[in-house]
Amino acid sequence: MEILVCVKRVPDSAENEIEVKADGSDIKRDDLVYSVNEWDNYAVEEAIQIVDRVGGSVTVASIGNEEAEEVVRREMAMGAHQGLLLVDPAFEGSDGKGIAAILKAAVLKGQYDLVLTGAQADDGAAQVGGMLAALLDWPYASLVNKIEVQDGHTLKIGREIEGGNQEINEIEMPCVLSIQTGINEPRYVGIRGIRKVASVEIPVMNAGRLGIDPAAVGQAGAGVKRVDYFVPPAGAGAEILQGSTAEIAAKLLDLLKAKGGLK
Amino acid sequence: MAAQVFAFIVHKDGVADDSALELISAARNIFPDASPTAILTGAGAGLDAVCQEVAASYKQVWKVGAAALIYPNAELVRPLLLKLLPKGAVLLLPHNTFGMDLGPGLAVKMGATCIPDVVGIDGLAGATLKVVRQEFNGQASTHLACDVSNGAVISVRSGSFRPDESRSAGGQVVDKSGEAVGLSARRRFVEVVQAEVGDVDITKADVLVSVGRGFGDKENIPVAEELAQTMGAVVSCSRPIVDAKWLEKSRQVGTSGKTVKPKVYLALGISGSFQHMGGLKGNPFIVAVNKNPKAPIFQVANVGVVADVLEFVPELTEKIREAK
Ligand SMILES: Cc1cc2nc3c(=O)[nH]c(=O)nc-3n(C[C@@H](O)[C@H](O)[C@H](O)COP(=O)(O)OP(=O)(O)OC[C@H]3O[C@@H](n4cnc5c(N)ncnc54)[C@H](O)[C@@H]3O)c2cc1C
Ligand SMILES: Cc1cc2nc3c(=O)[nH]c(=O)nc-3n(C[C@H](O)[C@H](O)[C@H](O)COP(=O)(O)OP(=O)(O)OC[C@H]3O[C@@H](n4cnc5c(N)ncnc54)[C@H](O)[C@@H]3O)c2cc1C
């Protein structure tokens, strides 16, 4: 099976405190630690496990600047067979639809049976997978937390729905699935693994090679334009306890007693 | 700009989802005098009942009943809506697991703009709709200017708009079931498998000590367990803790976990994402411990402690022990 996994390089939410620039034009990016979007890492692991069972190969693609290479290489160190970088100044400021249109062009350059995305990325939009499927006119399922290959044409999949219940579906290939966290346990990638793939050539494709009209993507083609970042006016918010650790613990003890938090 | 506004109503067991009333307010934030049309799909008597319920709040209700629609399969509902919706329509739907499945692809097929997970709507100027979204798990907010001249599919975050409880529409149910003939999809619904039941029931606990990713490592979980034991509380957690298999799924609080109603909730090393907070009901007394003073959890907590959980929690456990 030929699988394409779409991965996005994002500020690592576990490692960073996100702050908005004073002029609201962006978040402060200088000191951010970046990594692969958490959901995409599960998608790559799943693709590798499927190919281990039924054969085929895994390609990892990312749209971004030169720095996207670092996350593609990391996922290749996990075991993805090929990388693909989609880089062009014309892609900058794309909205979700623009990102999906670029990915569609990349999908059509290959012969894929299955395309995986993450359920969502740092913008929390959860939109690219569904848009990509619609642009390709392929069937789609979101929030997938189980994949079983049935035969050459269909997959049995689980979708995670409210309450953690699982909706089982059969879906025809080729299809697009967005992957939910927890579907597997992504393998650890060590420095040695990354070194092994350090010199592997990763093809780069721009708008021209993908056959994309630059005016249809990027900021020019965006139906959704980001105006600014801002910090909403703080509501009542929490009363922050002050003092030494011992003093704070003592205050909290009293509050917990008063609110019925101790038995 | 004038456009017809529709709300897709999600329902289960003959009862409309809470979003049904919130979407009315969202629609009015776009067009102040909007009278959105509700669309419901399903089958059988349950569908009729919920259509009647919704007609109290929506002047027009479109009912599409068909055996194939008994379970909401987005891959079937999407082509149906493409037939039903007029050109340039604005469709509102909840940003839940169904909305995420249906919405983005529907927007593309309609040639409309997809506006996902909206938490606020500032209003329409010409054909540009200004909305508010959150990014980075609520750590930053952003204004977006959206071109809705060819319509829009807008998914709305639960709890972001005040439900319109007036129930004074006295609406009409229009049967559009004829449009559902000949629907087919390349994805077939098979069944729903219920989430596993664990050995503890966090939904019954009065006091929850909840563990988040801020604990950093499985080895640190006992720090929370000791606090819980000392307090006579039960340990719950956020989703990444379950994904990493540090605790079992039945302890997860949130939209894809359990809905809990404790009196006191300790959120330790939890950022406060809406999917997590969505599982916390009944207005508990919330204590948040987080090393980031700007963590969104401090917006919703009653009391906050800015500290490293691994330093602060043992200290608190000790204090409680001494006081006993
Ligand atoms: C400088 C800058 C300006 C921007 N301006 C705008 C703007 O004006 N309007 C706007 O709407 N957005 C803007 N964006 C954000 C936009 O480009 C988002 O990346 C896009 O909306 C898709 O990301 P998402 O988080 O919404 O994806 P989601 O739909 O949440 O992500 C789902 C999945 O899609 C795939 N995916 C997403 N992005 C990529 C990628 N780059 N490469 C490969 N796979 C990917 C991944 O598999 C991911 O898990 C801007 C971003 C930057 C950095
Ligand atoms: C469809 C869907 C359903 C979901 N359902 C759920 C759900 O049911 N429940 C759920 O919880 N999530 C759910 N999520 C995931 C959710 O979006 C968040 O990713 C998740 O809630 C984050 O968990 P967290 O707060 O523990 O981790 P993070 O967001 O990573 O936050 C960790 C926090 O700990 C703080 N911290 C770090 N180190 C320390 C330290 N040493 N001391 C103190 N503080 C520290 C950080 O400042 C940060 O605020 C769902 C997501 C999707 C897409």
In the chain, the amino acid numbered B142 is T
Pocket of ligand 1 (CB under 6 A): A 6-8, 37, 39-40, 62-64, 93-96, 99, 117-118, 120-123, 125-129, 219, 222, 224-226
Side by side, which strands form the sheet with A154-160? Answer: A204-205, A82-86, A57-63, A2-6, A114-118, A175-179, A140-149, A154-160, A166-172, B187-193
**CATH number attached to the domain at B202-323:** 3.40.50.1220
pLDDT digits (tens, 9 = 90+) for A33-64: 999 999 999 999 999 999 999 999 999 999 99
CATH class of B5-180: alpha beta
In chain A, which residue's Cα lies nearest the Cα of B205? Answer: A261
Say which residues have a Cβ less than 8 Å from residue B59's Cβ, sequence separation at least 6.
B35, B37, B169, B170, B171, B172
Long-range Cβ contact pairs of B81-87 (< 8 A, separation 24 or more):
B81/B8, B81/B39, B81/B106, B82/B106, B82/B109, B82/B110, B83/B179, B84/B39, B84/B176, B84/B179, B85/B6, B85/B110, B85/B151, B86/B4, B87/B150, B87/B151
Spell out the domain ranges in chain B: 5-180, 202-323
pLDDT digits (tens, 9 = 90+) for A209-238: 999 999 999 999 999 999 999 988 777 789
Dist. CA A260–CA B156, nearest whole Å: 35
Please tell me the distance between residue B23's alpha carbon and the centre of ligand 1 in angstroms: 26
In chain B, which residue's Cα lies nearest the Cα of A174? Answer: B186
In the chain, the amino acid numbered A25 is S
**A161 with B104: Cβ contact below 8 A:** no
How many Å lie between the alpha carbon of A77 and the closest alpha carbon of chain B? 21
| Mean pLDDT (10-residue bins), chain A, 263 residues | 98 84 93 94 98 98 94 96 97 97 98 98 95 98 98 94 96 98 95 91 97 95 96 83 95 94 83
Ligand of minimum distance to the alpha carbon of A127: 1
How many Å lie between the alpha carbon of B303 and the closest alpha carbon of chain A? 5
Dist. CA B317–CA A187, nearest whole Å: 35
**A170 with B187: Cβ contact below 8 A:** yes
User: Which chain A positions have a beta carbon within 8 Å of B145's beta carbon?
Assistant: 224-225, 227
**A261 with B294: Cβ contact below 8 A:** no
Same topology between domain B5-180 and domain B202-323:
yes
In the chain, the amino acid numbered B188 is R
Q: What is the pLDDT along chain B (324 residues), one digit of tens a residue?
A: 668 999 999 999 899 999 999 999 999 999 998 899 999 999 998 999 999 999 999 999 999 999 999 999 999 999 999 999 999 999 999 999 999 999 999 999 999 999 999 999 999 999 999 999 999 989 999 999 999 999 999 999 999 999 999 999 999 999 999 999 989 999 999 999 999 888 899 999 999 999 999 999 999 999 999 999 999 999 999 999 999 999 999 999 999 999 999 999 999 999 999 999 999 999 999 999 999 998 999 999 999 999 999 999 999 999 999 988
**A165 with B193: Cβ contact below 8 A:** yes
In chain B, which residue's Cα lies nearest the Cα of A132? Answer: B105
Q: Which of A5, A7, A8 to mutate to test the pocket of ligand 1 (most atoms within 8 A of CB)?
A: A8
Which residue, judged by its Cα, is nearest atom 28 of ligand 2? B271
Choosing among A23, A25, A169, A179, which should be mutated to test the B contact, i.e. which has the most B CBs within 10 A? A169
Q: In the prediction, which pLDDT does B215 show? A: 97
ipTM summary value: 0.96
User: Which chain A positions have a beta carbon within 8 Å of B231's beta carbon?
Assistant: 256, 261-263
Which residue, judged by its Cα, is nearest atom 49 of ligand 2? B271
Q: Domain A2-221: what homologous superfamily?
A: HUPs (3.40.50.620)
User: Which chain A positions have a beta carbon within 8 Å of B195's beta carbon?
Assistant: 163-166
Q: In the prediction, which pLDDT does B1 show? A: 66
Dist. CA A152–CA A113, nearest whole Å: 9
Count the helix, strand and coil residues of chain A and give each as a percent rounded to the nearest 5: 35, 25, 40
How many Å lie between the alpha carbon of A69 and the closest alpha carbon of chain B? 22
Q: Which of B239, B247, B274 to mutate to test the pocket of ligand 2 (most atoms within 8 A of CB)?
A: B239
